Structure 1
Amino acid sequence: MKVKTLSLLALFIALAVVGAAIKVPAVVGSVALDTFPALLATVLIGSGAGAIVAAGGHLISALFGGMPLGPMHFLVALEMSLIVFFFGALYRKGKKYMAAIWFVLSNTLLAPLPFLFLMGMGFYMAIVPSILIGSLINIVVSFLLIPRVAQFFVPSLLEGTMKS
């Protein structure tokens, strides 16, 4: 991995830490604005980088919230990585709105599915509205920032790093 790419990855992880401190009121204290840096990273420096930022951002957010789900947060971090990875793939193919819909629906309805079986319908129904609000805020912030930040990512700065 090139030094420039690694530096940008560290920058986006730092932004995810800041976003992790901005919580959305929820049943579980790990719903936060930690994902928009991952969405930015996946579009600007690649899906792999975005997946790393997503997993790291979620784990930091969970730590800030007291790790209420214990080791299940590692499953959520993996889910976030996959969701962001596929978001980036869709976005870079020019399917921006499909990518946004994918992110919101998969993060809101699919990611909490394991908790439906482990903790029951009550927990699932209680967490979905907060995750929906968090997902919508994260996608709106990322869609506002991507075109503004992308202008600073000149090809000479990131030569070859836009690949997934």
Structure 2
Amino acid sequence: MHLRKLTLTALFAALCVIGGYIKIPSGIGSLALDTVPALLAASFLPPVFVGFASMTGHIASAMYAGFPLGPLHVVIAIEMFIILYVFSRMHRAGRHVWKWVFFIVANGVLALIPFYFIVSPAFFVAALPSILLATVLNAAVVITVQPALAKVAKGRLRLSK
């Protein structure tokens, strides 16, 4: 059973990397649909594995993009782990509306707050609309795809224990 969890985690992390190739034009350059597979993974994997898939996917996607924010991508990867972990916990608890509110606020706004202090207030203001738009687009794709995926996978891939 652990091998299935690890295999699915690697699969979702790889899909996050592929999603990283689907770029969203923005002023800061590295916005993509790399979170979609991690959000979908919340239906199939335990929260810790979802967090690792998103973190691994982000680092690989950032490597492909040439690390435009340098070592700050480690901070973003840790934030992604935490956000997707909490999102997955909320999904497991049946908080289906609140998980989306949390994801959009946490990923679209709160995750940028450290960069207000680390980089500059100007970076925060410039990045906020793009990050928020990318977050909403990632959420919209998952909200659209997840019901169909759940019907197809119906009980076959759930590894929550």
- TM-score by shorter chain over 0.5: yes
- In structure 1, the residue matched to 2:25 is 25
% identity of equivalent residues: 37
- In structure 2, the residue matched to 1:162 is 160
| In structure 2, C-alpha distance between the alignment counterparts of 1:33 and 1:48, rounded to whole Å | 21
TM-score, L = length of structure 2: 0.91
- In structure 2, the residue matched to 1:118 is 118
- Mark the CA change 1:123 to 1:156 in structure 2 (over 3 Å): closer, same or farther: closer
Partner-residue secondary structure (3-state), 1:67: coil
Contact 1:29–1:66 at 8 Å: present in 2 too? no
| In structure 2, C-alpha distance between the alignment counterparts of 1:129 and 1:18, rounded to whole Å | 24
Counterpart of 1:61, as a letter, is S
TM-score, L = length of structure 1: 0.90
| In structure 2, C-alpha distance between the alignment counterparts of 1:22 and 1:144, rounded to whole Å | 17
Counterpart of 2:103, as a letter, is F
- In structure 1, the residue matched to 2:52 is 52
In the TM superposition, what whole-angstrom CA distance separates every residue of 1:73-111 from its partner, at most 9, and x where no partner exists? 001000011001111111221111110010011111111
Counterpart of 1:71, as a letter, is P
Counterpart of 1:151, as a letter, is K
- Mark the CA change 1:126 to 1:50 in structure 2 (over 3 Å): closer, same or farther: same
Partner-residue secondary structure (3-state), 1:43: coil
How many Å apart are 1:2 and its aligned residue?
2.2
Structure 1 residue runs of 4+, over 4 Å off? none
- 1:1-164 to structure 2, matched below 5 A, reads 2-155=2-155, 157-158=157-158, 161-163=159-161
Q: CA RMSD in A?
A: 1.6
- Unaligned runs of 5+ residues in structure 1 are none
- Unaligned runs of 5+ residues in structure 2 are none
In the TM superposition, what whole-angstrom CA distance separates every residue of 1:119-150 from its partner, at most 9, and x where no partner exists? 21110011111111110111111122222222
Partner-residue secondary structure (3-state), 1:30: coil
